[in-house]
Amino acid sequence: MPEIKGMAIDAESVDKSDKKQFIIQGHKYVKVKDFDNPKIEVDKLVLNIDFADSKDVEYWPNKTSQKMLVAKYGRELNDWIGEVCEFEVLTQLVQGEKKKVLFVK
């Protein structure tokens, strides 16, 4: 059965899953509007990962998760490919609202 393409993994999906590990398969940068200033475009890191039974899922790591990945695997993105990582879901305030947020453990 074909899977939906182009849909990024989110905290709700990970929270509901028994599995929390993922494997980094690739990376790219995409241009998006800046969250704080929508008039500006910024490059945003997107990782292609295998998670649970899904292959080639997009994961948009936040800055905290990027720092964790750099601390573990270094600054060279190609060195991250094939690494097995683990997600953790935490609740935090996002724009004054409590939300589940996805982090790399």
Q: What is the pLDDT of residues 71-91, one digit of tens each?
A: 999 999 999 999 999 999 999
Measured CA to CA, the distance from residue 38 to residue 32 in angstroms comes to 9
Measured CA to CA, the distance from residue 78 to residue 74 in angstroms comes to 10
Confirm if 36 and 77 have CB atoms less than 8 A apart: no
Give 83-98 as a 3 state SS string.
CEEEEEEEEEEECCEE
Q: What is the mean pLDDT of residues 91-103?
A: 91
Model pTM? Answer: 0.87
Measured CA to CA, the distance from residue 22 to residue 91 in angstroms comes to 20
